[in-house]
Structures are given as C-alpha cells and as structure tokens.
Amino acid sequence: MTDHVKDGLDALDEGPRPSDAIAPGPSAPEANRNEHPSVAALFERFGRSVVHHEVVSGGQHVVHVEPGRNVEILTWLRDDPEHRFDLLADVTAVDLGGGAPIQVVYQLFSIPHRRALRVKCLLPLDALEVDSVVPLWNTANWLEREVYDLFGVTFRNHPDLRRILMPHDYAEGHPLRKDFPLRGRFSRAEQTRRALAQDVDRFYIPAERAVGREPQEVFFPESPEADADEATRDET
C-alpha cells in the first residue's frame, strides 16, 4: 500500500485548531477624538461609557462603547441635530478567536452632515447579549437576526429573533464563529442523515410541491470503495 499523501482538504477533516490568545480589549492606539466632531461630543456627553476610539482603514473612525448603554448612545447619535446619524448601513459582528470578545458592529452614516461613524460593543463569550436597535432603525431587524444566526449573539427585545440563513433547528452552532469546524460539527454521514430525515413540508408550499416532478435519486457513497463502484457504474 502507498502512504496516504496529504492534500489541501485534510485540514477540513482535522477540524479547527486553537487560535493564538488575543488580548480582551482594543489593540489599536487611541486616536485624536477632536478629528471627528461626533466622537468628541460622545466623549464629552458619555464619558467613560465610550471605552475606546481608533481610526482604521484610511480614515474610518471607530468608537467602542459599553454594551449596556448601546441603545442610549445610538439614540443620541440618531436624534441629536448636531450629529443626526439617520442611516444604519449595517449591523454585523467580528470574532477574532483566541477567547477575544465578539464585536457587534454598527455602521452609521449621517446624511445631513455627510459623516460616517462605526460603533462597536465588545461582548465576552459568556455574555453574548445586547439590546436590539430595531426600535431605532427597522433595517436592523434582519441584520440582527443574521448576527444571531451566524455568531450566536442574542439581541434583547428583538421583535422576531430567529435564524435567517440556517434552518431554525440547525444544531451545529454558529457558522461564522472561529471555533466552528470548516465541515460542520457533525460528520458528513450524520449531516446527510439529518438532511434526508427532514420533512419537506417545512420548506415548500403546496404549490411548489404540486409541480409533479419525480424525485431525483441521489447516491451517497460511504467509503472509497463505494466511490470506485459508482465511478465504474458511470463508465458503463
């Protein structure tokens, strides 16, 4: 027998490797808050609740705020006429791995003042909860659901907090977390078994099922020998 030669897909079967430890707090140096009028005003009004300020990506100002005051601070940024961040362009999250907090990110833009600002809340892994901002910007509804689905962050008081990309009963966790295996937490055989056991009525309306097509037969090989047998059948 020849020795097994590793290829680029072996890492998928080996699963995730632990990340290097990352410091829990911000790593970028503190920036000059006076370069951005809204940042300077935030520090003046909310004091220590504005934890950190940095400038990244060629001029993007980022402020880290206490998670417990996110709605209060974001409401002020939206409503104060001197700042008027009336557009919530995105809500997303970042997982740096290594035990670092999950970063919930709000990308804001003030149309009247033509001004952008990024606001972050850092959530420790044992307390992944923060208040929803759907009452401030309705566009946050599906965006927060995506963060909940893919990162596992719970948004308190969200009107309809449920998965939006993965099935509602998806049992393998949150796919954009750094500790999530590339091929999922279940084996391929178990993933196939669960897929075949699903009730199709949960995913299709009656009109879609009434098309009348014959179901396609799908072959799932369970071993290299079965792969070879399938290839032989295809050739003949």
Is the confidence at residue 177, as pLDDT, over 90?
yes
Distance of alpha carbon 107 from alpha carbon 92, whole angstroms = 8
pLDDT at residue 203, as a whole number: 66
Q: First vs last Cα of the chain: how many Å apart?
A: 28
Residues 3-20 have a mean pLDDT of 56
Structure tokens at 49: 């609740």
pLDDT at residue 195, as a whole number: 77
Contact indicator for 116, 122 with CB cutoff of 8 Å: no
The pTM (predicted TM-score) of the whole model is 0.76
Average confidence score pLDDT of the chain: 84
* Contacts of the segment 6-15: beta carbons below 8 A, 24+ positions apart: 11/182, 12/181, 12/182, 12/183, 13/183, 15/181, 15/182
pLDDT band at 225 (very low <50, low <70, confident <90, very high): low
Per-residue pLDDT reduced to its tens digit, 105-126? 999 999 999 999 999 999 999 9
pLDDT band at 185 (very low <50, low <70, confident <90, very high): confident
Per-residue pLDDT reduced to its tens digit, 53-62? 999 988 899 9
Superfamily of the domain at 24-156: NADH:ubiquinone oxidoreductase Nqo5 subunit (3.30.460.80)
The angle, 0 to 180 degrees and rounded to 10, between the axes of the packed helices 70-79 and 37-46 is: 130
